[in-house]
Amino acid sequence: MKKTLSLAFGLAAILSGSALAQERHRERPPVIVSPDLAAPWVMQLAGPNARPVVYPRQAAQPRAVYQPRAAYQQREPQPVRRGIFGESRVQPAAVRPDRPVRSQIEPQFLPQMVAYETKEAPGTIVIDTNNRFLYLVTGNGQARRYGVGVGKPGFEWAGAHKITRKAEWPDWTPPAEMIQREAAKGHYLPARMDGGPENPLGARAMYLGSTLYRIHGTNAPWTIGSAVSSGCIRMRNEDVTDLYERVNIGTRVIVM
């Protein structure tokens, strides 16, 4: 009896193992993955009677193209630095949202020969502060005219002097009054600044009599044609260099 049962169980085990082997090697349904790579991965391990789920491919959406604002497209290149009006620190032009930045000087302020009737002798410098012009009298009813920056309101002056000193790339020592005045505005000036491109006196300076006034260059050429200084007459560096070579110590200067 025991042998009969053992044989029965053995035969059953053999048949069961054979069935499992056949099931293991039977063809399985394919693994179906959504063709849309943007969708979640869905793998349908479907049975023989199941319908696998396949996500339809979605139409590709056009990518948005960045369109810069027209204001930025039309903006001209801006200067990367500027000087505070008058003799002061150099600051980036980007901190001037209240004032447009001029990238070019207005044509009337460029050096040019003009008709100029005067009783002054050739070689005399005449400065018209109202119209922001400096004239170097050449005679025969003509003069060489330059654009200049002049004293801001409260710093205007007029008079006649002579050039008593000339300097190339002059250093700058701000007067005590200017240091105090600018400090009250939050602009802290150095006690002294060596000559160079960042110096507010620019490339050349011509000192007038025993005063603190000068005809000098600038590190802020966009201010030419404006009333912005503390009384000095400022010119573009290329223009003051040109004038510097044409005049001598002792030249008469008339400021009107």
Hey, which residues are catalytic here?
216, 232
Name the nearest CA neighbour of 129 among 160, 158, 154: 158
User: How many angstroms from the chain centroid is the CA of residue 120?
Assistant: 45
Q: Phi-psi region for residue 159, left (φ > 0), alpha (ψ -120 to 50) or beta?
A: left
As a whole number of angstroms, the distance between CA 223 and CA 235 comes to 9
Any idea which residue has 């009677």 for tokens?
49
Name the nearest CA neighbour of 147 among 133, 157, 159, 158: 133
Contact 227, 142 (CB under 8 A): no
Any idea which residue has 């409260």 for tokens?
154
As a whole number of angstroms, the distance between CA 86 and CA 186 comes to 14
